[in-house]
Amino acid sequence: MGVNGVNQVISSHSSLLLRSVAEELKLPLLQIGREAELQNLTPQDTKANFKLIQTNADMALLLVDSYLLGLELNEAQAELMLEPVSLSGVLNDAAHTLSQFAKQYNATFELASSGRYRPVMAHPAGLRAALLSLGYALVSVPPAESRRQVLLGVHQSSRGLVAGVYGDFETLAHIHLRQARLLYGRAKQPFRALLGGSAAGVFVADVIFQAMHSNLNVSHHHKQAGLAATLRPSKQLALV
């Protein structure tokens, strides 16, 4: 395949991702619009749920920024310089942001990592954006019970540190992710095993992890299923 052919493939994937993100953004905009309308319809002594409006607007903006960063990192992939990144710092930051969002979904979001981890080779903003996008998608999975618990987990594997988002998604299997990758941007419900919508957060995370030479996979963490990527530890710092 020539340079033009490669560019066409990249362009085609970008437009599919854009379509997926556009579909996804209808939901937070609708939530904000209907919440505002509800306040107008209800008696004046009720307090508007500004926290919901603020959080949903922030998360929608975060998805847009993550999408744009994903495109940028992919375009620069050949020259992209990964650097040692403190996983604990990124995880804490992502968990804090996602816990605010999870409250709106009557869910709890926790950081399930114990101990200290070696730095990993990543793009700092890319790693944060990928984990937030993934969390954004999986927090909104319809609850199996009245209250869902979602975890941001990290564990060691033979190939590196596995970081991802987990929950009680018992039916989640590798084939669902494979099918979703073939369908995203084309089908309205590419990740139907988990999500009713376009699941854009999953695909934005996928694109960012790919740019960082990692891969999103179905993974398990403390009996919970989820989506995670294996990150290469920094060899340079291991020698220090």
Binding residues vs other proteins (CB under 8 A): 23, 26-27, 29-31, 34-35, 37-38, 41-42, 52, 56, 104-106, 140-143, 171, 188-189, 192-197
Given the complex with other proteins, which of 16 and 193 has the nearer CB atom?
193
Phi, psi for residue 21 in degrees, rounded to 5: -65, -40
- The distance of closest approach from Cβ of residue 234 to other proteins in the complex, given in angstroms and rounded to an integer, is 38
The CB-of-1 to other proteins minimum distance in angstroms stands at 34
Q: Which is nearer to other proteins, 85 or 202 (by Cβ)?
A: 202
Smallest distance, Å, CB 31 to other proteins?
A: 5
Least Å distance between CB 92 and other proteins? 26
Distance separating alpha carbons of residues 216 and 158, to the nearest angstrom: 16
User: Closest CB to other proteins among 194 and 207?
Assistant: 194
Closer of 132 and 194 to other proteins (Cβ): 194
Closest approach of other proteins to the CB of residue 35, in Å: 6
CB-nearer residue toward other proteins: 121 or 138:
138
